[in-house]
Structure 1
Amino acid sequence: MSELYLMATISDRNQSRRFLAFYKEYGISVTFLTLGRGTAASEVLDAFGLEASEKAVQFAVVTAAEWKKVKKGLEQEIKIDIPGTGIAFVTPLSSIGGKRQLRFLTEDRGFEKEEESSLKGTDYELLVVIANQGYTDVIMDAARKANATGGTVIHAKGTGMEKAEKFLGVSLAQEKEMIFMVTKTKDKNGIMQSIMKEAGIGSKAGAIVFSLPVTETAGMRLIEKNEDD
């Protein structure tokens, strides 16, 4: 896959609708919203005249060309460079589990699938699974059958879900769970296929899965040692 990115935006919760409206102007309405909390030290907050705040984290898939335009708009319209406004960044995607999921996440904005990401030769990948709420066990059972170890789950809300029926042929619930799993690159395809087979589009879980390259890890040594043994 070429020039396709996962875009993350972190802002105060009271600014989340502003960012959603901004992205919609750029044709990006399928996003996933979760909540967090700022952890800046009090002296940093005091220096900028800020208060500790609850955060909103938004995820969306964008092309390289879209990110270039969005970044310019964030700087000029949202004034994102002003401290306290927020931050946005992108990470290259390496693969998405199926053509329909690709069309849904890009909202059929004309992206053509090419070869996989130029960031090759990585030993690990981060699998991101987005599914209807309440199906984590089903997804993890499917993943473990293909040699996955474990995952981390966060609650999220989907926006632009009305587009699901158009691109996926099914309706999706707005309440979502996002599951993050770090896996060996050699196991990635098998895990993705297992999830799509047992919990993918068409099932009650309605899972969508994609992967991001991981350049380095810490904390995986015992797993690697057990494999070597």
Structure 2
Amino acid sequence: MSGIYMLMTVVKRSVGKRILDLYQKDNLDVNLCMLAKGTATSEMLDCFGMEANEKMVTLSIITEDTWKEVKRDLEQEIQIDVPGTGIAFLMSLSSIGGGRTLRFFVDGQTFEKEEESVMKDTTYELIVVVANHGYTEEVMDAAREMGARGGTVLHAKGTGFKKAEKFLGVSIVDEKEMIFIVTKGTEKNKIMKSIMEKAGLSSEAKSVVFSIPVSDVAGLRLEEIQ
């Protein structure tokens, strides 16, 4: 999907609220937030002037034009380029499950839908499912029916989901579970479709789903399709 990305930000928790306020100002108000802990030693923390290694991770869907504004503000207002503050980076998306979901994520951002990028032809894909808390099994049951081997679950809290009713026609709670499923690119569409049909917006799970190209994998034994 040309011109649209997942933005991942990892910052020290003390600036987490400022990050979310900045994103909302730049019309990037739909975010998923998770707490994390860095692995730097005390010596490294001292070297880079960091007070603690507690982190906040945010995931957001962002367009190319919005990223230009956000990057400028992160550097000017948060000084994210100062060592010890954090990092922000983009990952290209290959698809988003449904037009309503796309409009929900990019509301307020400048975006013109184009043809999917050539990255859609990568051998592997990471399917990301954002579901209401407590519905991981429903999501995974739907995914396994279409050949998914397993997934990894993270707990997150969403911001900006109150406008979901306007775009998606449903009310979505803030407490989320994110399910990551790595699969072959040839299996991606049928897995995403199954999740949308059986654990999507019409179900209690209220899942939204999108995918990210994966260059290569190790430790994942997948049967070759004849």
Q: TM-score, normalised by structure 1?
A: 0.94
Q: Which residue of 1 aligns with 2:80?
A: 80
TM-fit CA distance, 1:180:
0.5
- What per-residue deviation string (whole Å, max 9, x for no partner) do you get for residues 10-59 of structure 1? 11222211100001110110101111101113321121232332211001
> Are the aligned partners of 1:133 and 1:175 in contact in 2 as well (CA < 8 Å)?
yes
Q: Which residue of 2 aligns with 1:89?
A: 89
Q: Which residue of 1 aligns with 2:118?
A: 118
Question: Structure 1 CA distance, aligned partners of 2:225 and 2:142?
Answer: 24
Superposition misfits of 4+ residues, deviation over 6 angstroms: none
> Are the aligned partners of 1:39 and 1:52 in contact in 2 as well (CA < 8 Å)?
no
SS of match in other structure, 1:217: coil
TM-fit CA distance, 1:162:
1.1
1:12 corresponds to 2:15: no
Q: What is the one-letter code of the residue matched to 1:78?
A: I
SS of match in other structure, 2:32: strand
SS of match in other structure, 1:33: strand
Q: Which residue of 2 aligns with 1:182?
A: 182
Question: Structure 2 CA distance, aligned partners of 1:140 and 1:112?
Answer: 32
Structure 1 unaligned blocks of 5 or more: none
SS of match in other structure, 1:68: helix
Question: Structure 1 CA distance, aligned partners of 2:120 and 2:141?
Answer: 28
Question: Structure 2 CA distance, aligned partners of 1:130 and 1:9?
Answer: 17
Q: What is the one-letter code of the residue matched to 2:87?
A: I
Q: What is the one-letter code of the residue matched to 1:177?
A: E
Question: Structure 1 CA distance, aligned partners of 2:162 and 2:121?
Answer: 38
Q: Which residue of 2 aligns with 1:57?
A: 57
1:151 corresponds to 2:175: no
Question: Structure 2 CA distance, aligned partners of 1:209 and 1:108?
Answer: 20
- What per-residue deviation string (whole Å, max 9, x for no partner) do you get for residues 150-190 of structure 1? 00000000101111011111110000000001010000000
SS of match in other structure, 1:119: helix
TM-fit CA distance, 1:140:
0.1
Distance 1:115 1:228, change over 3 A: closer
Taking every aligned residue pair, what percent have the same amino acid on both sides?
55
> Are the aligned partners of 1:8 and 1:90 in contact in 2 as well (CA < 8 Å)?
yes
1:191 corresponds to 2:172: no
The answer to which of 124-133 and 104-113 deviates more is 104-113
Q: Which residue of 2 aligns with 1:169?
A: 169
Question: Structure 2 CA distance, aligned partners of 1:195 and 1:228?
Answer: 22
Q: What is the one-letter code of the residue matched to 1:194?
A: S
> Are the aligned partners of 1:107 and 1:167 in contact in 2 as well (CA < 8 Å)?
no
- What per-residue deviation string (whole Å, max 9, x for no partner) do you get for residues 76-128 of structure 1? 12111111211110100000000011011112534232211232431100000
Q: Which residue of 1 aligns with 2:202?
A: 202
Q: TM-score, normalised by structure 2?
A: 0.95
**Cα RMSD (Å) of the superposition?**
1.5
> Are the aligned partners of 1:30 and 1:107 in contact in 2 as well (CA < 8 Å)?
no
Question: Structure 2 CA distance, aligned partners of 1:121 and 1:196?
Answer: 22
Distance 1:76 1:212, change over 3 A: same
Q: Which residue of 1 aligns with 2:141?
A: 141
